[in-house]
Structure 1
Amino acid sequence: MKKTVRVSFSGLLALTLLGGCNAAREDGHGNSRAANTPTERTAAVECILYDGMKKDSPQLAEIKSGMKVQVLDSVDAYFVKARVSNGDKVVTGYMYRTCFPKQW
């Protein structure tokens, strides 16, 4: 007795999309949270280190162009979690990705 397997177009599309997501993660470009080691980056423009991931969040420090910043985590499409030396103390907060040259 033959069995016929029917796959709907939406089911096939879902499987294709899932396969694409897994392939992106395997080559290291899908989920940048996997690397938890701080990476030193140089700010390309003047930016603000914020306490949260909103433009109206309290400002922790002003980052000058050319200043070294440790990027701890690429939080989302717009922000990275960063750590900078602000005088005699170290401050951790969030910066826009656009503060850095396109490196990731």
Structure 2
Amino acid sequence: MNRPILFLTSLLGLAACTAAKENTSSVSSSTKVVTHNTVVDCVLYDGMTKESAQLLSVGPGAQVQVTDTVDVYFVKARVIKDGKTTNGYMYRTCFPQR
């Protein structure tokens, strides 16, 4: 008798996790792009590790569009330099504290 109840409880828990996952994805897609100016020389990377390739460098005062705050140390960013748009990741320390 306990097995069917345990099975049904497991299915309900799985359904709840799936619903929560779908709900969070809709929230992150509605975030706004915010433009910031860098305060130091910064590098736009293709990933969030020390081994990530450097895509380009920007100097202090460069405008960067932050599209997502994905990590404690990194933000997902878009830089337009010389008419070319490049997407990648930058350290949060590139921007003033808010």
Give the TM-score, by structure 2 length.
0.67
Q: 5+ residue gaps in structure 1?
A: 1-32
Which structure has more helix as a fraction of its residues?
2
In the TM superposition, residue 56 of structure 1 has moved relative to its aligned partner by 2.1
Q: How many residue pairs are counted as aligned between the two chains?
A: 71
Partner residue of 1:43?
A: 38
Partner residue of 1:98?
A: 93
Partner residue of 1:63?
A: 58
In the TM superposition, residue 86 of structure 1 has moved relative to its aligned partner by 2.1
Partner residue of 2:3?
A: none
Partner residue of 1:85?
A: 80
Distance 2:86 2:29 in 1: 23
Give the TM-score, by structure 1 length.
0.64
The DSSP-based 3-state class of the residue aligned with 1:70 is strand
Distance 1:56 1:76 in 2: 17
- Stretches of 4+ aligned residues off by more than 2 angstroms: none
In the TM superposition, residue 63 of structure 1 has moved relative to its aligned partner by 1.3
The DSSP-based 3-state class of the residue aligned with 1:52 is coil
Q: 5+ residue gaps in structure 2?
A: 1-27
In the TM superposition, residue 55 of structure 1 has moved relative to its aligned partner by 2.5
Overall identity of the aligned pairs, in %: 49
In the TM superposition, residue 91 of structure 1 has moved relative to its aligned partner by 0.3
Partner residue of 1:74?
A: 69
